[in-house]
Amino acid sequence: MDKIIKIEKLTKTFGDLKAVDNLSFSVRSGELFAFLGVNGAGKSTTISILCGLLSKDNGIVEIDGLDVEKNKLVINSKLGVVFQNSVLDQTLSVIDNLKSRAALYGITKNEFNTRVAELSELLDFKRLLKRTVGKLSGGERRRIDIARALLHKPQILILDEPTTGLDPQTRKLLWNVVTTLRKTENMTVLLTTHYMEEAVDADYVIIIDSGKIVAEGTPLTLKNTYTGDFITVYGGDEAVISELGYSYEKIRDAIRIAVPNTAVATELIVSRPELFTDYEVTKGNMDDVFLAVTGKKLVGGN
């Protein structure tokens, strides 16, 4: 896969604050790329520069081989953006919001009708087309936000905290749509999220803190590098488990033992089978990775 997004030594300051500090990464075509960091880490600043909404101080920012600042009109046609806060006109109907967006891209009436039919089927909003946006629920508005971003069949979809505050059913629907479009249109997706289970499905993840990359890799690589495994023992004797020499914590009706890796877990279980009659072994998750790397919990994102 070719690199469709290229950022090298990107820097952006606001007064004395260095929001983005010598940031470099690339995104391959068709990839789901997760961009993680707490509020103020530099995610939104980077995305604003990518979208041409903010100028950089230094560095290279290219989309599909084109400099973002020198080719804004062409770049805009390649991008679909779903911002954290809805950008729909609350006073207009759904269909009028979509028509006004289509006009910016010169989409013809027939093309528009075909695309809206496709998207309303995928995102299940056909019944909402004549409704005023201001009367929609949060989940319904989010579906229209995504449809708006997808009208012109962008090469790259940027999702900035797309599922914050949504019910599980709507979140599942939105991710099913993203998965479908990645397969059918080879769409590249750049995601910022504070739902770690969404980052688990990414092809590649970078974690930034204070404008710098502090960790990167596939979800599996990050988990293997920054966390160990856990053996959860049900009905275990805490006094005996404490003698094993590993850190542990009591959780409800179980004891969770932290071990360096799966090999150590296996060795421990085989050597002391009498302690492990009812247990499960799990890898650390992306929350554990984020905490290990930054010392912070990911509870929201900008």
- Residue pair 84/161 in contact by the 8 Å Cβ criterion: yes
Q: Are residues 122 and 251 in the same domain?
A: no
Q: Is 163 left (phi over 0), alpha (psi -120 to 50) or beta?
A: alpha
Q: Are residues 10 and 119 in the same domain?
A: yes
The list of the chain residues with pLDDT below 70 reads 1, 297-302
| pLDDT score at 301 | 40
Phi and psi at 266, nearest 5°, equal: -65, -45
Q: Are residues 275 and 136 in the same domain?
A: no
For residue 296, being part of any structural domain is answered with no
For residue 215, being part of any structural domain is answered with yes
| pLDDT score at 302 | 40
Q: Which residues of 11-20 are buried (b: 16+ CB within 10 A; e: fewer)?
A: ebeeeeebbb
| pLDDT score at 236 | 87
| pLDDT score at 284 | 86
- Residue pair 165/174 in contact by the 8 Å Cβ criterion: no
- Residue pair 163/82 in contact by the 8 Å Cβ criterion: no
Q: Are residues 195 and 255 in the same domain?
A: no
| pLDDT score at 268 | 95
Q: Please give the tally of structural domains in the chain.
A: 2
- Residue pair 44/208 in contact by the 8 Å Cβ criterion: no
Q: Is the dihedral of CA 134, 195, 210, 54 positive or negative?
A: negative
For residue 302, being part of any structural domain is answered with no
Task: Give me the sheet containing 79-82, strands edge to edge.
Answer: 79-82, 156-160, 188-192, 32-36, 204-209, 212-217
| pLDDT score at 271 | 95
For residue 297, being part of any structural domain is answered with no
Domain's final residue, options 194, 222, 250: 222
Q: Which long-range contacts (CB under 8 A, 24 or more apart) does 18-21 make?
A: 18/210, 18/211, 19/45, 19/211, 20/45, 20/46, 20/49, 20/56, 20/211, 21/210, 21/211, 21/212
Q: Are residues 206 and 238 in the same domain?
A: no
Q: Are residues 210 and 237 in the same domain?
A: no
Q: At what angle do helices 168-185 and 109-123 cross, to 10 degrees?
A: 130
Domain's final residue, options 204, 222, 240: 222
Q: Are residues 275 and 204 in the same domain?
A: no
For residue 299, being part of any structural domain is answered with no
**Six-digit token pair at 143?**
């579906």
For residue 174, being part of any structural domain is answered with yes
For residue 94, being part of any structural domain is answered with yes
Cα separation, 148 vs 101, whole angstroms: 7
Q: Are residues 242 and 209 in the same domain?
A: no
At 87, which CATH number?
Answer: 3.40.50.300
The H-assigned helical ranges of the chain are 43-50, 72-78, 94-104, 109-123, 138-150, 168-185, 196-199, 219-226, 238-242, 262-271, 286-294
What is the domain extent for residue 265? 229-283
Q: Are residues 217 and 238 in the same domain?
A: no
Q: Are residues 218 and 235 in the same domain?
A: no
3-state helix, strand, coil in the chain (%, to 5): 40, 30, 35
Q: Are residues 167 and 277 in the same domain?
A: no
Domain's final residue, options 200, 222, 244: 222
Residues in the chain: 302
For residue 178, being part of any structural domain is answered with yes
What single DSSP character describes residue 209? Answer: E
| pLDDT score at 37 | 85
Q: Are residues 203 and 235 in the same domain?
A: no
- Parallel, antiparallel or unpaired: strands 204-209 and 32-36: parallel
Cα separation, 120 vs 16, whole angstroms: 46
